[in-house]
Amino acid sequence: MKISKAAAAAAVAVALSLTATACGGSKKDAASDGGASGGAKDKIVVGIKFDQPGLGLKTPDGKFTGFDVDVATYVAKELGYQPDQIEFKQAVSAERENLISNGDVKFIVATYSINDKRKERVDFAGPYFLAHQDLLVRADDTSITKVEDLNKKKLCSVTGSTSAQNVKKNLAPEADLLEQGGYSECLTGLENKAVDALTTDNSILAGYAAQEKNKGKFKLVGLSMSNENYGIGLKKGDKELQTKINAALKKMVEDGSWQKAVDKNLGPANYKNEPAPQITEGS
């Protein structure tokens, strides 16, 4: 049977249309895999802090800087994502478990201390950093060298801080505790001599002290009033992702990237970091 040229052309057009549709559908399906399970990846959503200089900070021009950001970027790279495929989402302390369990983020790197209460709702990889509760004082202050020196002095921290309560209840009960809405207010008070010290994790204190505008104004006392093992939070039961993140953290330490990130982000405050901790989660 003879087929007209017009009919043949129409058949070819239909065939090409079907092929294009099939290819388009396949690409969409592959790109929608935003997890760490392999296959083509579009993006990955990672939770970080937006307001902690040196750790997790969103700058006025929309960029992200800090040690936690560097760790998150390294881990995402090992999972198959380039920096432009990472979407950083703000993870305030009170919402971290909800963000993970609701699937709003793949994992969280946000000065997230591992403890039993949190492990009831989420799993952790790591730890990747060991911090200690410390004090930040003015650079020229020689009157505070140990926690007992806070008695009769003014101590500042954020409202509801467990660090401040630890000092007030257990270490220096006669300290005059002032609670503020944020660490910036405490820093202003410290600079203006309205308060004598600021307390929280030494990593957070070092981040603030290392800011360009604060260089030379403050110093860490160098105390270890508690141990805070920072972990990477992820969905409970996701052992595959936990194993992959642990492997990425080990590699980051072994190739020197971990220490470089510490020095770059916290070094200007003369921060003396602990060695990278042994990974215990998932083992």
* Residues 177-197 pLDDT 10s: 998 888 888 999 999 999 999
Assigned domain for 52 exists:
yes
- Judgement on whether residues 111 and 54 belong to the same structural domain of the protein: yes
257-266 and 202-209 helices cross at what angle (nearest 10)? 60
- Judgement on whether residues 65 and 194 belong to the same structural domain of the protein: no
Position 272 pLDDT exceeds 50? yes
What is the three-class DSSP state of 271? Answer: coil
Q: Which residues pair with 227 in a beta bridge?
A: 132
Position 6 pLDDT exceeds 90? no
Position 18 pLDDT exceeds 50? no
pTM greater than the 0.75 cutoff: yes
Q: If you average pLDDT over residues 102-117, what whole number do you get?
A: 95
- The CATH number of the domain holding residue 52 is 3.40.190.10
* Measured distance CA(87)–CA(152) in Å, rounded: 46
Residue percentage of the chain with pLDDT more than 70: 85
What is the total count of domains within the chain?
A: 2
Predicted local confidence at residue 166, as pLDDT: 84
- Judgement on whether residues 126 and 49 belong to the same structural domain of the protein: yes
Q: If you average pLDDT over residues 212-240, what whole number do you get?
A: 93
Q: What are phi and psi of 152, to 5 degrees?
A: 75, 5
- Judgement on whether residues 253 and 200 belong to the same structural domain of the protein: no
- Judgement on whether residues 126 and 141 belong to the same structural domain of the protein: no
Give the helix ranges, DSSP H, for the chain. Answer: 5-31, 67-78, 96-101, 116-119, 162-166, 183-191, 202-209, 239-254, 257-266
Tokens representing 77? 């790279």
* Residue 98 CA: distances (Å) to CA of 35, 108, 235: 18, 11, 10
Of 220, 238, 254, at which residue does a domain stop?
Answer: 220
Assigned domain for 127 exists:
yes
- Judgement on whether residues 146 and 212 belong to the same structural domain of the protein: yes
Predicted local confidence at residue 118, as pLDDT: 92
Host domain of residue 162: 132-220
* Measured distance CA(55)–CA(72) in Å, rounded: 11
Assigned domain for 7 exists:
no
How remote is the C-alpha of 163 from its chain's centroid?
A: 19
